[in-house]
């Protein structure tokens, strides 16, 4: 079985596109669509990488990322953040919170696949 991706995203078109791209490449993709209990999903699914949207219902991606980095068992978990906001301050906030990579929407299929492959080498 392929490596596991947890995609935490609330936009259905992004969920479908990213799931398709990664599944076709051999990744086992699970999705979660809200911030309320995203940490429960991270702990339960034990992914090799998390793809995390910045703006989620219930809790922001930045808050979730801070929780991931505060958990000793998850501190090394690669996190790729996605956002419609690409201003320098947003990228800086993501880096400060501990994101491994920050990608703005819209993105190309190739960009997402390359980022995931780079963050989780086979």
Tens of pLDDT along 9-20? 999 999 999 999
Confidence of residue 24 (pLDDT cuts 50, 70, 90): very high
| Across 79-105, average pLDDT | 92
Give pLDDT, residue 1: 55
Cβ(61)–Cβ(42) below 8 Å: no
d(CA 79, CA 97): 11
Strand partners, 82: 53, 103
Domain around 81: 4-119
What's the total number of domains in the chain? 1
- Residue ranges in 1-122 assigned as alpha helix (H): 12-24, 38-45, 61-70, 88-97, 109-119
Strand partners, 49: 5
Model pTM score = 0.95
Confidence of residue 90 (pLDDT cuts 50, 70, 90): confident
Give pLDDT, residue 120: 96
d(CA 66, CA 97): 6
Residue 55 pLDDT > 90, yes or no?
Answer: yes
CATH code for the domain of 62: 3.40.50.2300
For a pLDDT cut of 90, what percent of the chain falls above it? 89
CA-CA-CA-CA torsion for 86, 89, 91, 96, nearest 10 degrees? -160
């Amino acid at each position: 079985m392929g490596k596991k991706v947890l995609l935490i995203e609330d936009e259905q078109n992004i969920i479908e596109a990213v799931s398709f791209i990664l599944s076709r490449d051999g990744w086992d993709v699970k999705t979660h669509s809200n911030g309320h209990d995203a940490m429960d999903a991270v702990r339960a699914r034990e992914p090799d990488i998390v793809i995390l949207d910045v703006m989620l219902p219930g809790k922001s991606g930045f808050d979730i990322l801070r929780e991931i980095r505060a958990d000793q068992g998850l501190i090394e978990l690669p996190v790729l953040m996605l956002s419609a906001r690409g201003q320098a301050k947003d990228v800086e906030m993501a880096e400060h919170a501990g994101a491994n990579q920050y990608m703005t929407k819209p993105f190309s299929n190739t960009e997402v696949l390359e980022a995931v492959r780079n963050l989780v080498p086979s």
